[in-house]
Amino acid sequence: MIAALPPPKNIDEDKVIFPMAEPSNVTRALRSGIGTDTSAGAVIPPIHLSTTYTFAGFNEPRPHDYARAANPTRELLADAIVTLEGGAGGVVCGSGMGAIATVLLAMLKVGDSIAIPHDCYGGSWRLFHRLAERGGFTVHTLDFTQTEESIAAVTELAPTVVWLETPSNPLLRITDLAPIIAAAKAVGAKTVVDNTFLTPILQQPLALGADIVVHSTTKYLNGHSDVIGGAVVAADAVDAEMCDFWAKTAGTMGNAFDSWMVLRGMRTLPIRMRAHEAGAAAVAAALADHPDVLAVHYPGLPDHPSHEIAARQQAGFGGMVSFELAGELQVRSFIDGLQCFSLAESLGGTESLISHPITMTHASMSPDALAKAGLTDGLLRLSVGLEDPADLIADLLEGLERAAG
């Protein structure tokens, strides 16, 4: 929880805004872990590296005994993410996949079923299918961007869990969360939303009725491309308890140092997200205007097929943009020579990245599956960083000139 601010002095009663009943998410993120140290009064919390804790005396355990079960630094980060998402509780994990595996351990048993997006994160897709192949549970893949069809399918299948991810990767397709979550609830299914791409600053699935949110904190929450981490947040205290239980039982929880790093990253999350978004909007507009660009996928563009839904359910359009060139030949000369974009997987860091999905993140998909998902060999994905947008645009325009040969 955030430390209470002192009441101001000599104020006009009519204009009283303090003490703050409900600080904004910006203030909450900025105060993550600040002023929580009781040992020395450190403004920035210390990192608790100890793996074990003394008992106060014979048969007198303290709140912490062994760091796999509970760690004060990890708890500060969990509190910060839970507060931003508006959940009842949660747990910090060692990676985004660790968080996703923790949710599966907590929610699915033999004979259950899960409905997942046909274009969900590749790692999630692999985990769901490989586990299902062992006979654990059934996987149904749906195109959740088709709202009416999805509602009908969820109603008919009545799965144990409905797994959602919006915007999707790499085409930035949007799922209309509220009606699909309502349909899931109506058949007793739990809904999990992977909120990695937008963070709680730009989208709050629990407020739209979701039961659980998962994050790869590796991306925007840490924001500096130097930690692998994840988190689970649950709307309900019992679900949160189950996820925490499985994280400590299976050992999928995060470590103290990484938790501290992510806590530091989160203090700039609101301003980073706004800057990522401003850069992405400028880049998307510049690409959309260019005759050699076949298509631009960015939910902030008015002609994006789900622009209206994104504008309604999100507080911003985010920092990811994808676009299409004519083919692989153009892609090669476009990428060779870029100054401000590093050719690399992942996203959400301060630096701009470019990736070619079909030879990188989505290389394991069959040509058939690629075609079905709409991934062409000219498709490129950008994680727009915090560099000057004018430089990013100049770099991209030069690349388009090279690609035109």
Ligand X SMILES: *Cc1c(COP(=O)(O)O)cnc(C)c1O
**Which of 79, 119, 176, 194 is an active site residue?**
194
* Residue 196 makes contact with ligand X by CB under 6 A: yes
Strands, E assignment, 35-111: 89-93
Our CB check for ligand X shows the closer of 75 and 194 to be 194
Cα gap 125→94, rounded to integer Å: 19
Cβ proximity of 24 and 269 under 8 Å: no
Binders of ligand X in range 44-103 (CB under 6 A): 95-97
248 as an active site residue: the answer is no
Least separation in angstroms between CB 262 and ligand X:
11
31 as an active site residue: the answer is no
Give 221's contacts (C-beta < 8 A, 6+ positions apart): 81, 199, 215, 229, 231, 262, 265, 266, 269, 348
Q: How many other C-beta atoms can be found within 10 angstroms of the C-beta atom of residue 183?
A: 19
Return the residue nearest ligand X (CB atom): 96
190 as an active site residue: the answer is no
Sheet of 342-343: strand order equals 295-297, 320-324, 379-383, 353-355, 342-343
**Which of 28, 31, 219, 381 is an active site residue?**
219
* Residue 306 makes contact with ligand X by CB under 6 A: no
Selected range binding ligand X among 6-14, 39-47, 211-219, 366-374, rule: CB under 6 A: 211-219
Give 389's contacts (C-beta < 8 A, 6+ positions apart): 278, 279, 282, 283
Least separation in angstroms between CB 148 and ligand X:
25
What x/- string results for residues 112 through 151 when contact with ligand X is judged by CB under 6 A?
A: ---------x-xx---------------------------
Least Cα distance to 206 among 29, 23, 84 occurs for 84
What x/- string results for residues 145 through 184 when contact with ligand X is judged by CB under 6 A?
A: --------------------x-------------------
79 as an active site residue: the answer is no
Cβ proximity of 152 and 171 under 8 Å: no
Cα gap 178→175, rounded to integer Å: 9
Binders of ligand X in range 220-249 (CB under 6 A): 228, 230
Which residues, in sequence order, are bridge partners of residue 212?
192, 234
Choose, by CB under 6 A, the member of 32, 216, 352, 361 that binds ligand X: 216
Cα gap 115→251, rounded to integer Å: 26
Question: How many residues line the site for ligand X (CB under 6 A)?
Answer: 15
Choose, by CB under 6 A, the member of 79, 194, 239, 277 that binds ligand X: 194
Residues that bind ligand X (CB under 6 A): 95-97, 121, 123-124, 165, 194, 196-197, 216, 218-219, 228, 230
Q: Which residues are catalytic?
A: 68, 121, 194, 219
